[in-house]
Amino acid sequence: MKIHAGYQIAYECPQPTPMLLMLHVHPSRAPDLITADNIRFNPSVEHRQYRDGFGNICTRVLAPAGRLEISADFLIQDTGMPDLVVPDAVQTPVEQLPDDVLVYLLGSRYCDTDQLSDTAWRLFGGVQGGWARVQAICDYVHERIKFNYDDACSTRTAWQGHNEQVGVCRDFAHLAITLCRCMNIPARYCTGYLGDIGVPPVDAPMDFSAWFQAYLGGQWYTFDARHNVPRIGRVLMATGRDATDVAISTSFGPSSLVNFAVTSEAVQ
Is the whole model's pTM more than 0.85, yes or no?
Answer: yes
Determine the residue type at 127. Answer: V
**pLDDT confidence of residue 204:** 78
* The total number of residues written for the chain in this structure: 268
Tell me the pLDDT tens digit for each residue of 86-108. Answer: 999 999 999 999 999 999 999 99
Tell me the pLDDT tens digit for each residue of 251-266. Answer: 999 999 999 999 999 9
Whole-angstrom Cα distance, residue 160 to residue 153?
A: 10
CATH number at residue 177: 3.10.620.30
**pLDDT confidence of residue 216:** 98
Q: Which contiguous run of DSSP H or E holds residue 167?
A: strand 166-167
Q: Which contiguous run of DSSP H or E holds residue 5?
A: strand 2-13
**pLDDT confidence of residue 150:** 86
Residue 110 has pLDDT above 90, yes or no: yes
Between β-strands 66-77 and 146-147, what pairing exists: parallel, antiparallel or unpaired? unpaired
Q: Which residues pair with residue 192 across a beta bridge? A: 209, 236
In a domain, 85, yes or no: no
**pLDDT confidence of residue 206:** 87
97 exposure class (CB count in 10 Å sphere: 0-12, 13-18, 19+)? middle
In a domain, 73, yes or no: yes
In a domain, 87, yes or no: no
Are 167 and 213 in the same domain? Answer: yes
At residue 162, the 3 state secondary structure works out as helix
**pLDDT confidence of residue 149:** 85
Residue 243 has pLDDT above 80, yes or no: yes
**pLDDT confidence of residue 152:** 87
Are 62 and 188 in the same domain? Answer: no
Kindly state the average pLDDT of the residues 222-241. Answer: 97
In a domain, 86, yes or no: no
Are 110 and 226 in the same domain? Answer: yes
How many structural domains compose the chain?
A: 2
95 exposure class (CB count in 10 Å sphere: 0-12, 13-18, 19+)? exposed
Are 63 and 110 in the same domain? Answer: no
Q: What are phi and psi of 199, to 5 degrees?
A: -135, 160
Q: Which of 178, 154, 179 is nearest to 241 (CA)?
A: 178
In a domain, 49, yes or no: yes
Are 69 and 118 in the same domain? Answer: no
CATH number at residue 33: 2.60.40.2250
**pLDDT confidence of residue 18:** 98
Are 8 and 69 in the same domain? Answer: yes
The answer to whether 57 and 49 have CB atoms below 8 angstroms apart is: yes
Are 133 and 154 in the same domain? Answer: yes
Kindly state the average pLDDT of the residues 175-179. Answer: 98
Are 157 and 213 in the same domain? Answer: yes
Tally Cβ neighbours within 10 Å of residue 115: 17
Whole-angstrom Cα distance, residue 265 to residue 268?
A: 9
**pLDDT confidence of residue 249:** 96
**pLDDT confidence of residue 19:** 98
**pLDDT confidence of residue 31:** 97
CA quadruple 175, 177, 181, 185: dihedral positive or negative?
Answer: positive
Evaluate the omega torsion of the peptide bond into residue 43 and state whether it is cis, within 30 degrees of 0: yes
**pLDDT confidence of residue 205:** 79
Radius of gyration of the chain (CA): 19
Tell me the pLDDT tens digit for each residue of 44-57. Answer: 999 999 999 999 99
The answer to whether 168 and 191 have CB atoms below 8 angstroms apart is: no
Are 68 and 124 in the same domain? Answer: no
Are 149 and 226 in the same domain? Answer: yes
Kindly state the average pLDDT of the residues 235-257. Answer: 97
In a domain, 262, yes or no: yes
Determine the residue type at 240. Answer: G
Are 111 and 217 in the same domain? Answer: yes
**pLDDT confidence of residue 176:** 98
Are 149 and 54 in the same domain? Answer: no
**pLDDT confidence of residue 174:** 98
For 126: left if phi > 0, alpha if psi spans -120 to 50, otherwise beta; the answer is: alpha
In a domain, 89, yes or no: no
Tell me the pLDDT tens digit for each residue of 115-165. Answer: 999 999 999 999 999 999 999 999 999 999 999 888 889 999 999 999 999
Q: Residue 140: which domain range?
A: 94-236
Tell me the pLDDT tens digit for each residue of 194-210. Answer: 999 999 888 777 899 99
In a domain, 150, yes or no: yes
Q: Which of 93, 42, 109 is nearest to 71 (CA)?
A: 42
